[in-house]
Structure formats: structure tokens, C-alpha cells
Amino acid sequence: MRGVSVSTFRSLVRSLQPPARIVDWSIFVGVLLEAGSGLLSLIGATPAWAPLFWLHRAVGLTLIVLLGFKLARVRHRITRASQWQRSTVLSVVTLLTATVVLGSGIVWVFGFAPEIPLFTLLTVHAGLGLLLVVLMGAHLYTRFRPPRRADFHRRRTTIQYSVMLIAGAVTYRGQEILNRLLGTEGADRRFTGSQRTDGEGNSAFPVTSWVADDPDPVETEEWDLTVRGEVDRRLELGYGELTPDTAEEALLDCTSGWYTVQEWQGVRVEELLDASSTTGQASHVRFVSVTGYRWTLPIEEARDALLATHVGGERLSHGHGAPMRLVAPGRRGFQWVKWVERVDVRQNGDPAQWIVTLISGFTD
């Protein structure tokens, strides 16, 4: 009886298995899709982005199946030492990296978030994921086999891929239900995958630097806020001249995998723009940190943003950006510039911000 079911299972798997080269190229496309959607997900903050995150998870699950097919096919090349070639080392390193990337993704989905010095599991997932693209490129280069026409049996391939995708969706749903039943941390995730931190004020959420931005504490007496650019009146305001009379609840969602809802209090950017009287050319507003770290918002969005001096009723701590930090609802955490000292009203956006922000921690 057992023999029968095992062989039935084997032949079922065999009939579901696409031809070798299709498997390989699907893995290639899948990994590129994951890298692309993973990178894009960094800026996804509002629920309209949710489908991108579903895609990332569904393709990730499909990759597990495809890798399973591939491993079943090539395992003798790895297990038999006599068959080792130089490219085998690269293949094994690529496979191990893929395993860690997929494993960390799955573990994360289940809400397990081990403490790793300097990183979170999600940043390890992302970093190794990008490394995997490089390894896979090299692996492909050493073992390149273009797909052949004969590999495509339209009907069979369509069925095979439909089954995989449906299985992926079912697995994902099952995981959600399981998470809820087990009451794991994973059940309290946002659609971005971020896990909630509870509490109010400075101590309720971690201090996070997007690369290595870590200035000395900013002395309030020596600090002022400059508003300049497309304005009729340039402003230079000391801390005492600011009236932090606006309070609002906003959600900070960091790409390293946590989120918090806090009440932020400070100055509405609109007030600064009105006080400096922006020109007709003004279309964007750039927020610049003492470290050079910066981010730009379209002016309409900027009007609604807050330059906060307080969180949860407490004055901001140095780590959270004292004396003043940007609160940009609907944007990912890395866009919430800390230690703001300048507001530039501009005619254009600022594409260079991507690079400047990435290196700001190394140049100050």
C-alpha cells in the first residue's frame, strides 16, 4: 500500500515537473521578479501597494517548488565528489544563499524576529537576496543553456504553472490561518510585512539608521531651521520661535520590518510655507538633515506633513531626530528625515536624493 502511494506521488510530481530548462529559466525570471518587487516594496507604504507584496510572497513560494524540481534533478552532481567541477562550488554557494533567502523570508512571515546585531532578519533577507542576483548571474554564465522551442508544450506548461501558482496561493492563505491560530507575532503584520511595536513615546520604537547616519546630539541653542529656495522671505527660526501646536497620529513603517503608531506634535509644514510666501515656481519641498540625509515631497503632500518636536507627549530624543524630524504620513520610514535643519522649496524633484541619502552616513 505504502509502495503504491509513494510511486503514485512520484509520478504525480514527474507529470507536474516542467522540462529542465524551463525550470531553470523560471527560477531566473522568478529571482529577478523577487529582486525587483523587493526593491520596489521599499517605497510601498499605502495599501494600494499591497498586490506588490502578495506577488513577492507568491513568487517566493513558487521558487521553493522550482528549486525542489531542480535539486531533484542535479543532486547527483553535488553528492558525487567525482562529478565536482569548478562551477559546482559556485552552484553550491548560490544554492545555499537561495536557501537562506527563502528561509529568512518564510521565518519572517511567521513573525519570528531573532535579534541579530546591526541587522534585522528582514535586512539580512534583502541583502542576501540582492547577492543572490549576482551569484545567479555568475552561475548562469558558467552553465548557460538557452531554452529550446521543443521545451514548450503550451498546454502542459500552462497547467503545470497554474497548479504551482494555485498551490502557492493556498499555502500563503494556509500560513495566514495558521499564524492566527497559533497567535504568533506574524499575525499582527501590516501588508508590508512589518510587525507592530507597542507603547507611546521615544522608548516605544527602535532608533533606526538607514545606512550609518549617526550625528552628535544637536544642541538646540545652536540649531535653527532655515526655509529657503523658491520663497519671497527666507526664514531662520530658532527652537524658541517655533510653535509646535499641531498634534496628529501617524504610522511610521520602517523597511527593516517594524511599525509604530504614535501621536506626533510639531509645526505643520504648510505654516512654514505660508510664512515664507512660496513663489509661483514652487513645486517640491526638500527636507535636509544636519547629516546631509534628505528627502523631497511634492509641495501639496509637504503642506500636510509635520515637522515634529514631540512624540507621544515627550520631547523627541536625540536618536529619534531631536530637535526636529519630518513626519510624512503615507511614506515609508526612511523618508521621515531626522535632525532636520533646512527646508528647501524647489522647482523640481530631487532624483539625486537616492544616492545622497545612501551615502550621507559615510560623509559627515
Ligand X SMILES: Nc1nc2c(c(=O)[nH]1)N[C@H]1C(S)=C(S)[C@@H](COP(=O)(O)O)O[C@H]1N2
Which of ligand X, Mo ion, none binds 213 (CB below 5-8 Å, type-dependent)? ligand X
In whole angstroms, the minimum distance from the beta carbon of 306 to ligand X comes to: 14
Backbone region of residue 292 per phi and psi (left: phi > 0; alpha: psi in -120 to 50; beta: other values): left
Question: Which residue number has the CB closest to ligand X?
Answer: 333
Which of Mo ion, ligand X, none binds 125 (CB below 5-8 Å, type-dependent)? none
CA quadruple 149, 155, 156, 157: dihedral sign? positive
If the CB atoms of residues 135 and 252 are measured against ligand X, the closer one turns out to be 252
If the CB atoms of residues 143 and 342 are measured against ligand X, the closer one turns out to be 342
If the CB atoms of residues 267 and 326 are measured against Mo ion, the closer one turns out to be 326
In whole angstroms, the minimum distance from the beta carbon of 55 to ligand X comes to: 23
If the CB atoms of residues 179 and 208 are measured against Mo ion, the closer one turns out to be 208
In whole angstroms, the minimum distance from the beta carbon of 295 to ligand X comes to: 8
In whole angstroms, the minimum distance from the beta carbon of 210 to Mo ion comes to: 5
In whole angstroms, the minimum distance from the beta carbon of 51 to ligand X comes to: 23
**Taking Cα atoms as reference points, which of 33, 55, 54, 53 lies closest to residue 43?**
53
Q: How many angstroms from the chain centroid is the CA of residue 118? A: 16
Which of Mo ion, ligand X, none binds 338 (CB below 5-8 Å, type-dependent)? ligand X
If the CB atoms of residues 59 and 337 are measured against ligand X, the closer one turns out to be 337
If the CB atoms of residues 25 and 293 are measured against ligand X, the closer one turns out to be 293
The CA-CA-CA angle for residues 358, 360, 362, to 5°, reads 100
In whole angstroms, the minimum distance from the beta carbon of 209 to Mo ion comes to: 8
The one-letter code for the residue type at 174 is G
In whole angstroms, the minimum distance from the beta carbon of 237 to ligand X comes to: 19
Which of ligand X, Mo ion, none binds 205 (CB below 5-8 Å, type-dependent)? ligand X
Identify the three-state secondary structure at position 313: coil
Which of ligand X, Mo ion, none binds 91 (CB below 5-8 Å, type-dependent)? none
In whole angstroms, the minimum distance from the beta carbon of 339 to ligand X comes to: 5
Judge residue 237's burial from the number of C-beta atoms within 10 Å of its C-beta, 0-12 exposed, 13-18 middle, 19 or more buried: middle
C-alpha radius of gyration, the chain, whole number:
25
Which residues would be at the binding site for Mo ion (CB under 5 A)? 208, 254-255, 333-334
Which residues would be at the binding site for ligand X (CB under 6 A)? 205-210, 213, 254, 289, 291, 293, 319-321, 333-334, 336-339
DSSP 206: -
Which of ligand X, Mo ion, none binds 127 (CB below 5-8 Å, type-dependent)? none
And the C-alpha cell for 37? 518587487
**Taking Cα atoms as reference points, which of 278, 327, 332, 276 lies closest to residue 305?**
327
The CA-atom distances, in angstroms, between 95 and each of 19, 74, 205, 312 are 20, 11, 36, 46
| Residues 308 and 266 sit within 8 Å (Cβ to Cβ) | yes
Rounded distance between C-alpha atoms, residue 257 and residue 279, angstroms = 39
Rounded distance between C-alpha atoms, residue 275 and residue 349, angstroms = 22
Which of Mo ion, ligand X, none binds 61 (CB below 5-8 Å, type-dependent)? none
If the CB atoms of residues 91 and 360 are measured against ligand X, the closer one turns out to be 360
If the CB atoms of residues 60 and 323 are measured against ligand X, the closer one turns out to be 323
